[in-house]
Structure formats: structure tokens, C-alpha cells
Structure 1
């Protein structure tokens, strides 16, 4: 079980880390809300095809559809739309720092909605990880301009992060009620895409589609890997280890994005960024490592030389 959970965790981290590069090919002639709608509509079609091939049940009660629609609104629609608005005011690095606060939001929301006690090492790990990701993106944090646009982008990013955290809580709730992850995601993505199409219609956005190969390949990658596989891995993990632990993936995947940027976009690492990565890894250990293994590591002989009688 532990090995499978680790595989799910790193699958989500590495796939989502790579989607930042793929999203660049989506920006252009197609409005962002339509590109997101296309992404989740295609992902839903893939999931429904999988359900049909595997004979998975697709009949659910009306109230279950309501909860799946709420999950879709929070995870596959509203949060993406708000973050696209925020990118008009802030750089992607700043948004990554802000979005990483979902770790703390999930800890607090898990305590509020599921009565989960706040573990001290978990909170410490979240704070260490947030400090680390802030150091990694420090040049962008330091250059934040004190103006109305920056404040608007900051507030939008926090709102989008909080909505995504609520989506995490909804997924955890749905899994506790025995709603399967694959079907919940399929219906949730359908509802999210429909809401985005409706929003575009109300706003008078002209329906557009780009036939270029980069746009279509990146759309397919975002739908299949970034949506079907990454969300499936992450939300399954969320149901197993809890939203507060699973959310630490959001601190790690910006580092994967920077690794890809190093290879393809000539990103240059600094000493401060390297220190930030070390803190992110330390925070990951504090949050993810089982308590018994952490205690065993702390009590290993090399750390007990000052008091050998213990």
C-alpha cells in the first residue's frame, strides 16, 4: 500500500510539473476559458470510454450527481478560471508560491470539516516547504510591485487556492461516501467543462479552436496526462492519506517545472534556489514520512551519542 501511494504521489508531482510547459502551447488565439473547457471535455470523454471498456457503473443518484458537480465546479472549473485571471497581474512563479499555501489550507479545512487534529510535524513541514518554495522564486517575490494590479492578482490567487482546497475536501467527502474516483472525475469534468462553456457564452466569447499541431498535442497531453492520470492519482492518494498530506504535491511540482525549464528554457539556478529546494525536500519528509519511521530516524544511534543510556 505504501509503495503504491508513493507511486501515485510522484506520478501527480511529475505530471503536473510538466503541464506548466504544455500550457504555454495553449496560449494564443483560443481564449483561456475555452482551452480549459476543451481540456476537461476531452478528459471526460477518455474517462467515460475507460468506464465503458471496463464495465464500470455510471448510474448514480441525483444527490450524488450534485456532489460530483460541486467537485467539478471547484476542481475543474472555477479555480482554473480564477488563476487565469490572476496570471494577467502576477508571474507564474508568484502564483506557484501562493498556490502552495493550499497545504496549510487543507490542514485547516481538514480540521474544520473532518475534525482531524492538526499534527505539529505536519504544520512544521508545510511551513518549511512554503519557505523553501518562496526562496526558489525569491527574485519574483522581491520584484512584486506594490500596486492595485499586484494586490488584485494576489487576492485572486488566494481565492483560487481556497476554492481548490474546498475541491479537495469535496473529493475526500465523496470518497468517504463510496463514490468512485474515476466516475466522480468523469462527471465532475463534464460539469466543469459545461459551466466554462456556459460562462464563455454569457460573456460573448467567440467559440474558437486552433488546428495547429502544437496546440492539439499539448491539449491531448493536458487532457490525458494532466487531467485523467494526474488528477486520478492525486485524488486517489487524497482519499488514502488525507488532503493535508496529499496537497504537499503542490509544493513539489513547481520544482519539476523549473527542472524542465532548465533543460528547455535556459533557467539558471542560484544558491538561494538550491537552499529552497533543500527546504522543500525537508518539508516533504516531515509531512509524508510515517510518524513511526520519522521517530526511528530521529532515535537512530548516531543521533543518541550524547545520551547513550536512553
Structure 2
């Protein structure tokens, strides 16, 4: 697949997963659906590792960092996303989650000492202002403004959790741990930890046999967690992480368009302005050349939806 195909595959799949998540909500508790999703995704990745005869033996201390990444990136992050989408549209959650780019930069500064340039600060302010502009009409016109604010808060917390998970992913890259195996183990641990949390809360491990639930589960596990990630990593290998990072600016556009078509997301003047500001802020940050340490920093990591 050429570069354009890899870019479009990553953007269209990850951009669509926000809407597909809504088909997981309802009958099965959100925590249980997350456990199902990443348990299945981990099984697929382990099967691929076995097919390619990739090494899967790591010491206990490495497994502890896999578990922490799983808890943050594939556990808490996604539980909060599912909860957020029970309150607000998937497009709004995706736009809020686009702040991950800025959270990654702040986290890289905190944990790795990466320098933050003035243009990066300006981009972060633009992105945050854009999200606020989009949310304001929703809060003012909604009959359940409390739900909008709760959904926004949950989406914001999920973004922070994902950013901390990206720090662990960067830690694994610094130690030259293979990404495929690291994510397989992390997804497995994330699924197990979420399942334990659901059991502790007394959630029933039910299953929805409907076509919508099963097809969305398979789509999220296979396409959202395996195919798109593979396409993105190949894209990074072809054109570099900086240029591949522009998927972060395009993914919210796809998510918002789909939310408009299928969820009835209402557009206002502030919505147009806010989306434009948010995308402009992301592009400005991605265009800014940072001065990270010689080992990989998590600024350009792309989230798996």
C-alpha cells in the first residue's frame, strides 16, 4: 500500500471508531465491552506474533510496565471514553480527545525534559479555545447541560490517562522493546484489569448477540486496534513520525462528519470556528520542530481508537 493509502486507512478507520463505539453502549456494561474488545484485540496480536514467530518472553519487571501501560492506555482511557459517549456525541468526544497532542507534549516535558517552544504553547491555546467554542453552544442549547459538562469532563480525563499511557509506550521504545509485543501484552493486561474492576463492581458479564454489537466489537478489535495501527506504523516507517502525526489533525474531522450524519450533531457558527481553531492548533504543534532527547518522546504517538 502506498503512502496515501496508509494515511487514509489510519485516518478513516480511527476516525470512524468513535461512532462505532456508540453501538457498544446499552445492553452490555461499558467496562465489560472494553474488556471484550481488548481481550479479542490482544488475542489477534498474539496470534500474529505466533505466526511470525516473534519472541514473547520478557522478565517480570518488563511485564509490570506492560501492565501499567495497559491500565492507562487500554483500560482507564477507554472506560472513560465509553462513559463520555453515553453523555455526549462521539464527534465531541473525538474533538476533546484531540487535545492528546498537547497533553503528550506537557507529559514529555514533565517526564523526559523535552523543551516546549512558544509556537507549541500557542498551538495548545488554539486547540483548547477551539474545544471550548464547540462545547459552548451544546451547553447553552441542550436540555441536559449537566450531561454535556459531565461528558466533556470524562473525555478530558480519558485524554490525560491516554497521555500517561503514551509515556509508558515511549518508555518501552526507549528500552528498544518491540511495539507489537508491547501492545499485545498491554492490551491483555488492560482487558484483565478492566474485567477485574467490572467484577468488583458487580457488573454482569453479559453479551449482546445483536448484529450491531458483534459487528462493532469485531470492527473495533480488528480494524481499530490491529489494521489501523499496523497501517500507521508502516506510514511512520515510510515518511517519519513527524509527517505521520498529521493523522491527529484529520481524525477528528472524520469523527465529527460521521457524528453529524448519524448522530445529528448540530453545527453553529461557534462550532465551525471551534473546529477550525482546534485543527489549526494541532497542525501548528505538529509543524513545530521540538528538541527532544535522542530517544523517542511520546509527542507523535497516535492513539488507538
Question: Which TM bucket (shorter chain)?
Answer: 0.7 to 0.9
Compared with structure 1, are the counterparts of its residues 284 and 87 closer, same or farther at alpha carbon in structure 2 (3 Å cutoff)? closer
Cα contact 2:137–2:268 (8 A) shared by 1: no
Deviates more, 1:84-93 or 1:52-61: 84-93
Residues 88-113 of structure 1 show CA distances to partners (whole Å, capped at 9, x for unaligned) of 55554554454333333221110111
How far apart in 2 are the matches of 1:163 and 1:12?
Answer: 22
| Residue 164 of structure 2 is aligned to residue 166 of structure 1 | yes
User: Aligned residue for 2:122?
Assistant: 124
Q: After the TM superposition, which residues 37-76 of structure 1 pair with which residues of structure 2 at under 5 Å, given as runs? A: 37-76=35-74
Cα contact 1:252–1:280 (8 A) shared by 2: no
Cα contact 1:125–1:282 (8 A) shared by 2: yes
| Residue 252 of structure 2 is aligned to residue 254 of structure 1 | yes
Alignment partner of 1:22 out of 15, 20, 23: 20
Cα contact 1:96–1:254 (8 A) shared by 2: yes
Compared with structure 1, are the counterparts of its residues 73 and 218 closer, same or farther at alpha carbon in structure 2 (3 Å cutoff)? same
Alignment partner of 2:219 out of 218, 221, 245: 221
How far apart in 2 are the matches of 1:168 and 1:7?
Answer: 25
How far apart in 2 are the matches of 1:160 and 1:110?
Answer: 17
The SS at the match of 1:117 is coil
Which segments of 5 or more consecutive residues in structure 2 lack a partner in the other structure?
291-305
Q: Structure 2 length as normaliser, TM-score?
A: 0.79
Cα contact 2:90–2:259 (8 A) shared by 1: no
Q: CA deviation at 1:19?
A: 0.8
User: Aligned residue for 1:275?
Assistant: 273
Compared with structure 1, are the counterparts of its residues 117 and 241 closer, same or farther at alpha carbon in structure 2 (3 Å cutoff)? farther
RMSD over aligned CA atoms reads 3.4
Residues 57-108 of structure 1 show CA distances to partners (whole Å, capped at 9, x for unaligned) of 1111211111111111100101222333445555545544543333332211
Cα contact 2:109–2:115 (8 A) shared by 1: yes
How many residues are matched? 286
User: Aligned residue for 2:301?
Assistant: none
Residues 30-79 of structure 1 show CA distances to partners (whole Å, capped at 9, x for unaligned) of 11111111110111111111111112111112111111111111001012
User: Aligned residue for 1:31?
Assistant: 29
User: Aligned residue for 1:100?
Assistant: 98
Deviates more, 1:37-46 or 1:100-109: 100-109
How far apart in 2 are the matches of 1:67 and 1:235?
Answer: 21
Alignment partner of 2:75 out of 45, 55, 77: 77
Compared with structure 1, are the counterparts of its residues 178 and 9 closer, same or farther at alpha carbon in structure 2 (3 Å cutoff)? farther
How far apart in 2 are the matches of 1:103 and 1:138?
Answer: 22
User: Aligned residue for 2:189?
Assistant: 191
User: Aligned residue for 1:202?
Assistant: 200
How far apart in 2 are the matches of 1:40 and 1:164?
Answer: 15
How far apart in 2 are the matches of 1:148 and 1:193?
Answer: 30
How far apart in 2 are the matches of 1:141 and 1:108?
Answer: 28
The SS at the match of 2:203 is coil
Alignment partner of 1:289 out of 287, 290, 293: 287
User: Aligned residue for 1:297?
Assistant: none
Compared with structure 1, are the counterparts of its residues 288 and 16 closer, same or farther at alpha carbon in structure 2 (3 Å cutoff)? same
